[in-house]
Chains A and B, each alone.
Chain A
Amino acid sequence: MASGMSYLRMLEAESIHIIREVAAEFARPVMLYSIGKDSSVMLRLAQKAFRPGKLPFPLLHIDTTYKFREMTEFRDRYCAEQGVKLIVHRSREASEDNVNPFRMGTQKCCAILKTKALLDALAAGPFEAAMGGARREEEKSRAKERVFSFRGAYGQWDPRNQRPELWNLFNGRIDHGESIRVFPLSNWTELDVWEYIEAENIPVVPLYFAKEREMVVRGEALIPVEHDLPLLPGERPEMVMCRMRSLGCTYCTGAIRSRATTVPEIIGELRNLRRSERENRAIDHDQEGSMELKKREGYF
């Protein structure tokens, strides 16, 4: 590069520009915080963007109640340490008996506990702009997302009618009730995220590191034994050396067999890995084009 900046520092500068743009253009922005590695990087970038000031917006976590215990513990401890304002939104439906992935299936469960809960939480704010840690590299419909992505009054995404987005000039104008989803990490890859975590020494949930965990082996998938996971006939939990590559609800997350116990080991593993990050996310695969349909309805 003519500027002599490393690739990671270029990405960092671009993301900070985006985050500052949100703070400057919206009266009520919020940053989605999902506790995963991408959120951890996004939070660090936001802190850098406003240093030595405080974050000019709160964090919002949509708690489906089907998260790993380690995740909620990490969330509460880390946010307290960092002195950031965190809103935890738990949907009303979560306490209802029949709303769980085991009985109603992953699609409906996700629609109620995540997508609807997210829309409710944004309306309750009310928040005009919500930043999320999604990356274009993750999934093929995300590859078509704008950095500033317009959402109608019901949070829907209309991929055929997106605003053109040129240079680094973002159009964040909305009417009452409409909102913008913002993706500061649009141009980051999974490897970039881990390299940044290493360079910046950013704490992440221990679930990302390999250790012996109690799992059910179902076909190719490793499913964590948590939240009263119903077992199929003949299934028995077993201890497997594994780690989570991406984090969601326990039932839908899945693990990969791995021996990587440190960040450099994870980076080494990723350089040779031939399988995608969201492969183990059950909800992405319940039908072809699944992520796009969820996004149209308001999923991140």
Chain B
Amino acid sequence: MELLRFTTAGSVDDGKSTLIGRLLHDTHGVYEDQLASVRKASSNGLDLAFITDGLRAEREQGITIDVAYRYFSTPRRRFIIADTPGHEQYTRNMVTGASTAELAVILLDVRKGVLPQTRRHAYLAWLLGIRCIVFAVNKMDSVNYAESMFDKVCRQISEFTTRLPGCQLHSIPVSALLGDNVVSRSECMPWFSGASLLEYLETVPLDGLAPAKELRFPVQYVIRADSGLRIYAGQIAAGSVGVGDRVTVLPSGNVATVRAIGTCNGNPARAHAPASVTLCLEDHFDVGRGDMLASTAFPPTAVRQIQATLVWMSDTPMAFQQPYLVKHTTQRVCAEVSRLISKLDIRTLEHKEGAEELCLNEIGTVELDTHRPLFCDTYEENRTTGSFILIDPISNQTLAAGMITGWAEAQRRQPMNRGEVHRGLTVWFTGLSSAGKTTLSHAVYERLWAAGKKVELLDGDAVRQHLCKDLGFSKQDRDENIRRIGFVADLLTKNGLIVLVSAISPYRKVREEQRARIGDFVEVYVNAPLEVCEQRDVKGLYRKARGGELKGFTGIDDPYEPPLNPEVECLTDRESLAESVDKVLRLLEQRIETVE
């Protein structure tokens, strides 16, 4: 039998509890003794809302406080309802209910029409990956079952649902109180020829988001058999795995062969999502909780800088550069929010840039830096590997729900390192603002990464957002900024990494200081004439400096001291990016020594 998980939402007094009570009651999902207890608590007759409003506080206030799960079945389908509250302060519960649902039933009062809450609920359902929404236009009995009233609400609905692409939408006029069009079709609305709500729920095709095909197996637990064998336990998040399959082990990037599969009911040759299984590998790799076994042809992206939509669920607003914990599949990693890109305006359903904070029940798109790579897909591609929660390491509270929308471009759809051991080296890109340091260093990074080198980027802008955010732009602070970068570069170089530093670093003396400190050091002069840089003005800083908004800007009212003997000089106004990259790589070939 098929299972349909759906969620219900609606504003206060739209009659949601009554509707669910009606569904359960009319499908015989409520036992007689439970009904008797509801009758006892009802003030007159049988108040269907009391079937679901379970907590004492809810009865006292006449509202639903928390998400509740209900179970019923018909001969056609099994149903799990996540019944979620409608008031604004409990939006986090609505998101909770929607996260596991395939369909949403959203209630409206025909007399009130579409309210801000209605739009919010529909958008949240869509945001959480629900691609089938039913609008139950309730209290039709109170408007004498007038078709014109239903049509009016339908028009309001179609006005805002254009913002929910790919979503299957359906509206049904109902009276939860009297049962019209809930379980059986109503005789009071002959003008409506569609199915009743229950008929619709029983027959709607369950397409939803297309199920992901490529294997994703987050290792949840390692079982050690008496024989000493390591057995990897977990739930398949996507795709399937078969005996003899070659799978990529993340983060090591090793490729292993599946030796055996164990399920609850034997040892099949192949197992599919969402089975909980155990896997044995032919090869002896060190694999632990938080690692992932994945399709070799299409592994997930290993990223440390992700873009995600957050639904903020805590009274404490989001903070920048503060350590949070990300729980993603079976991984738990430390992370910081580096940027709030945009915030959703719930009235217009538009994402607006320039927001400064994210508070309770607000939805925003952020950039998140994680301390270890996440092995992820976008939420659109995969609901399991594309979702995470943010936890406050101090209060232990769940702060936000996150859905991954993308990642920084420099990060590759490739495993992290493939194990080549070489000596470390710092490559220092210096030059004016807009000379092309970031573009060049990122391109070099890509090439080195693709060649299997261990490589890291220290970008001046990123460093100033984190390590050096306390520093300004006086000569003293600029020198301190460079010394800190040099310190980190030195550490990484000693550990065998190729460190690409990209920073204006205008003063010769402090650059020479870093060369002396690090030793394995290459200077790349990214050289473009000031006029060219000013014309490019990638970040609009020259304009501000000329206008007097920025003081002490390099090249305008602060000096740039070019290197006297750089190992490489790239003339970015005359040569192509590829030529510049080749120049740098040719030199690096001579300087990077592979250690046997």
Tell me if A189 counts as interface (CB < 8 A to partner B): yes
Tell me if A49 counts as interface (CB < 8 A to partner B): yes
Smallest Cβ distance from B483 to chain A, in angstroms? 38
Quick one: CB contact mask for A6-21 with B, threshold 8 Å, 1 for yes? 1101101110110011
- B264 close to A12 (CB less than 8 A): yes
Note all chain A residues with C-beta closer than 8 A to B100.
Answer: 166-168
Residues of chain B in range 200-222 having any CB-CB distance to chain A below 8 Å = 206, 211, 220-221
Tell me if B54 counts as interface (CB < 8 A to partner A): yes
- A7 close to B96 (CB less than 8 A): no
Tell me if A50 counts as interface (CB < 8 A to partner B): yes
Stretch touching chain A among B68-76, B145-153, B534-542: B68-76
| Nearest A residue (CB) for B264 | A48
- A166 close to B96 (CB less than 8 A): yes
Q: How far is the CA of A201 from the CA of B498 in the complex (A)?
A: 60
| Nearest B residue (CB) for A6 | B1
Smallest Cβ distance from A275 to chain B, in angstroms? 5
- A144 close to B67 (CB less than 8 A): yes
- B3 close to A10 (CB less than 8 A): yes
Tell me if B398 counts as interface (CB < 8 A to partner A): yes
Tell me if B131 counts as interface (CB < 8 A to partner A): no
Quick one: CB contact mask for A132-165 with B, threshold 8 Å, 1 for yes? 0000110011011000000000000001101111
- B233 close to A20 (CB less than 8 A): yes
Q: How far is the CA of A5 from the CA of B387 in the complex (A)?
A: 23
Note all chain A residues with C-beta closer than 8 A to B96.
Answer: 164-166
- B78 close to A7 (CB less than 8 A): yes
Q: How large, as a class, is the contact surface on chain B?
A: 35 or more
Quick one: CB contact mask for A158-186 with B, threshold 8 Å, 1 for yes? 01101111111101011100000000001
Smallest Cβ distance from B471 to chain A, in angstroms? 34
Tell me if A1 counts as interface (CB < 8 A to partner B): yes
Note all chain B residues with C-beta closer than 8 A to A232.
Answer: none
- A53 close to B224 (CB less than 8 A): yes
- B235 close to A24 (CB less than 8 A): no
Quick one: CB contact mask for B315-330 with A, threshold 8 Å, 1 for yes? 0000000000101101
Q: Which of A53, A160, A167 has the most CB of B within 10 A?
A: A167
Q: How far is the CA of A140 from the CA of B220 in the complex (A)?
A: 32
Note all chain A residues with C-beta closer than 8 A to B384.
Answer: 167-168
Q: Which of A140, A274, A292 has the most CB of B within 10 A?
A: A140
Note all chain B residues with C-beta closer than 8 A to A51.
Answer: 223, 262, 278
Q: How far is the CA of A279 from the CA of B36 in the complex (A)?
A: 11
Tell me if A267 counts as interface (CB < 8 A to partner B): no
Smallest Cβ distance from A145 to chain B, in angstroms? 9
What are 24 A-B contacts with C-beta separation under 8 Å? Answer: A5-B272, A17-B220, A20-B221, A20-B233, A51-B278, A52-B223, A136-B71, A140-B51, A140-B68, A144-B66, A159-B55, A159-B65, A160-B66, A163-B397, A166-B96, A168-B235, A168-B384, A169-B388, A169-B389, A189-B71, A274-B28, A274-B32, A276-B34, A279-B33
Closest 4 CB pairs of A and B: A140-B54, A276-B31, A16-B276, A173-B396
